[in-house]
Each structure stands twice: as structure tokens, then as C-alpha cells.
Amino acid sequence: MIDLSPIINLKMSDLEAKAYKVALLWMGISHEVFPDYAHTKGFPKTGDPRKSMLFKYCYKLIRETQGLVPDNEYSQYIRAQLDILRAIRIGDCHPYIGPQILVGDRAWIRWKVWKKKLKAITENSTLEDVGLDKTDEEKVVKELVATKKYLEGKFTSGYQEPQVMMAKTEIARWVALEKVSPFYVILSPWTQRHCDFKNVFDEELYRSSITPNIRAKFTELFPDER
């Protein structure tokens, strides 16, 4: 049974009340999508739920997405994160699933990519018909920049195609751990030649979201990749 009494008893603000409701949605949907996963605890059995990590992440989400995500779409927002991460595997395991996946640039990209696919399905359009906006492109570029920095740190002897060949299983793990962007994997001729990501993430979903601006930025960041 959903208990909304803390909203009144603790005199929560409007933002706190929304965060509390989103936290309840998270607990229900995450257990539905990952029924066998060892989920972290939600609210404390006694005391103020606002002191829990779950509430703090949900409050951060609400604060950062005010005016961007309608109140009635937060359940879809949560499901988008979980659906996309469910497709990512490290061997027989999924990446860590916790409320922190709800916030940050990668969460926003997952949301927009998921909405794009949903819109294509419901409107009988193609994925190419539904584009990412400029803000989303900027977030993808930030991912590519972070990926370049991470890979250069890993391949201290020089990031070249032979290193990618030797580290192809590691790259799949780095994608799952959100150290390497799926957009990099799709755009990189090296990873496309040497790595198999069919069981790591939905390549079609990300490929359809690549814009000319994103492709141009990849070429600028990774000029040696052919």
C-alpha cells in the first residue's frame, strides 16, 4: 500500500512531495523491471524518509528537471533508465542499478533516446524522423570528450587500433560502467571492426540518434580513427 502520509505529517514542500512520490515510483518500477536484483533499501522503516539516499537522488532529479519533464511522465522517465540499462550486460550481470542512474547527463540522454524510439513506434514514423535537439547534442559531445580522456588514460602507451583489438572485452565493460559512451562505440571504426556489442546495448537505438553535428565532433576528437 502506498503511504503518502509523510508528505502531510512532515509538512513537505511541493518539491519534496514530488520527490517522495517519484521515490515511490522508483521502488515499484525498479522491482518490476529487475525482480531478481538485490536492490538497495529505499526509505528507512522509521524516521524521516528525506534523509535516505533514494530521496536525495529523487529530489535532485526533480530540482534539475523542473519544466523539462511533466509530472505525469516521471514513471516513463524511470522506466526509460531501467529499460536501457537492462539491455547492458557484463557477462551474465547487469551494471549497478540504483537511484543515482536517474540524474546526470547520461540519464537525460537515455531519456531522450528512449522517448525518440517510443515516438517512432507510436506515430509510425522512423527513428530518423525524430531528432535530438541542440541541448542533447551538447550532452553527447560531453560524453565523447569524457570518453577520449578516459581512453587516453587507459592506453598510456598510445591509443591506437592495436590497443583497441587487445582491449575489446574491456571496452564492453567500460561501456556498462558508463566510462565509455555508447555513441563512441557506434561512431568508432575501430570498435566496429573489432568489438561485438550486440549483447551489451541496443546499437540501433543509439545509432539512430547520431546527428551530423555529433558525427563531426567525433571526427574532430578522434582524427586518427579510420
pLDDT tens for each residue of 136-158: 889 999 999 999 999 988 887 66
Domain boundaries, the chain: 12-103, 131-221
pLDDT given at position 60: 97
pLDDT given at position 150: 93
pTM of the model: 0.76
CA atoms within a 13 Å half-sphere pointing along the CA-CB vector of 175: 30
Q: Which amino acid is present at 218?
A: F
pLDDT given at position 40: 76
Which residue is listed with cell 547492458? 88
pLDDT in tens, 181-201: 999 999 999 999 888 776 667
CB 78 within 8 A of CB 29: yes
pLDDT in tens, 85-126: 877 765 555 667 889 999 998 899 889 888 888 776 677 666
Mean pLDDT rounded to a whole number for the chain: 85
pLDDT in tens, 8-60: 999 999 999 999 999 999 999 998 988 877 777 788 888 899 999 999 999 99
Q: Sign (positive/negative) of CA torsion 125, 131, 132, 137?
A: positive
User: What is the SS3 assignment for 224?
Assistant: coil
* C-alpha–C-alpha distance, residues 160 and 225, integer Å: 8
Among the listed residues 6, 97, 105, 27, the one whose alpha carbon sits nearest the alpha carbon of residue 65: 105
Number of H helices, E strands in the chain: 12, 0
Residue 57: how many other CB atoms lie within 10 Å: 20
* C-alpha–C-alpha distance, residues 135 and 205, integer Å: 19
